Amino acid sequence: MPEAIRRSLVSDQVFRVLAEDVLSDRYSPGEKLPTQRRLAADLGVNMASVREAVKRLEQLGLVEVRHGDAMRVCDWRADGGLDVVTHVLFRAGGLDVPTLRALMEARRLMLREAARLAAERRDDPARLQELAEAFAAAAKPEEAQAIDFAFFSELVEAADNVVFVLILNSIRRLYFDRAELFHPLVADRGRLAPLYARTARAVADSDGEAAAVAVEELAIAQEEALR
């Protein structure tokens, strides 16, 4: 194995160990972490791997590194961004159900408002209608998932809100990195297909309230499928 790849894999392992320690509250906010030299010795890795892992933790807002001072744990609930969700959701190698519920609730609320805005701002609704038809005809879960995300991406783009777009970008990585966990979202295509169609029609008719109601029903149906 090339050295660069091996080092990256080791750094990933160190990152996962340290992120789990922080997210599981093994360390309290403000508490000092062991020195990077001590971490390297305890984990049996070299300093370069620890430095790379710590840099990722700092970028996520999980630790604070100050020159001449020890690394301190941040309050990830106060300092973390949306990228932390993936690590919270899959911490300790399992699926954190309360975090999943919170994620799906936030998704539903965002989609409801995005649908309302899309109905008011969209110039060409044809793409949404095409995707709704494609979802109804999808034969495989993987195909249905891809269309499902494309539909919501189109809806959010039509809302013309850059923050919604960036949030969806973060959800995309989570959705497709662990796609098998989300197969139930699109399993009942007979129930869901009319809701995609209703949402698309409401946007085409510039009916913001009807679009919001339809997409909320769709999101609730998907949340129920994950329970």
The model's confidence at residue 92, banded by pLDDT at 50, 70 and 90, is: low
- Give the H/E segment covering residue 91: none
Terminal alpha carbon distance of the chain: 41
One domain, residues 210 and 114 = yes
pLDDT tens digits, one per residue of 161-204: 999 999 998 888 888 888 888 889 999 999 999 999 999 999 99
One domain, residues 217 and 107 = yes
Residue 150's contacts (CB-CB under 8 Å, 6 or more residues apart) are 131
Q: What's the CATH number where 57 sits?
A: 1.10.10.10
H-helix segments, 36-159: 36-43, 47-59, 76-79, 84-89, 97-121, 126-137, 141-159
The model's confidence at residue 1, banded by pLDDT at 50, 70 and 90, is: low
- Whole-model pTM above 0.85? no
Q: Collapsing DSSP states into helix, strand and coil, what is residue 63?
A: strand
Last residue of a domain, one of 50, 80, 110: 80
Residue 95's contacts (CB-CB under 8 Å, 6 or more residues apart) are 89, 181
Question: CA–CA separation, 147 vs 201, rounded Å?
Answer: 17
One domain, residues 109 and 188 = yes
Q: What is the chain's alpha carbon radius of gyration, rounded to the nearest angstrom? A: 21
One domain, residues 8 and 75 = yes
Last residue of a domain, one of 80, 112, 140: 80
One domain, residues 138 and 196 = yes
One domain, residues 92 and 201 = yes
Q: What's the CATH number where 214 sits?
A: 1.20.120.530
One domain, residues 53 and 104 = no
Is 226:178 a contact under the CB 8 Å cutoff? no
One domain, residues 47 and 125 = no
One domain, residues 10 and 74 = yes
One domain, residues 115 and 211 = yes
β-partners of residue 73 are 63
pLDDT tens digits, one per residue of 122-156: 877 789 999 999 999 998 888 999 999 999 999 99
Is 218:188 a contact under the CB 8 Å cutoff? no
One domain, residues 203 and 108 = yes
In the predicted structure, residue 81 carries a pLDDT above the cut 90:
no
Boundaries of domain holding 118: 87-226
Question: CA–CA separation, 152 vs 80, rounded Å?
Answer: 25
One domain, residues 100 and 176 = yes
**Within its chain, how far is the Cα of 202 from the centroid?**
27
CB atoms within 10 A of CB 122: 21
Q: Work out how many domains the chain is built from and give that number.
A: 2
Last residue of a domain, one of 80, 113, 135: 80
The model's confidence at residue 93, banded by pLDDT at 50, 70 and 90, is: low
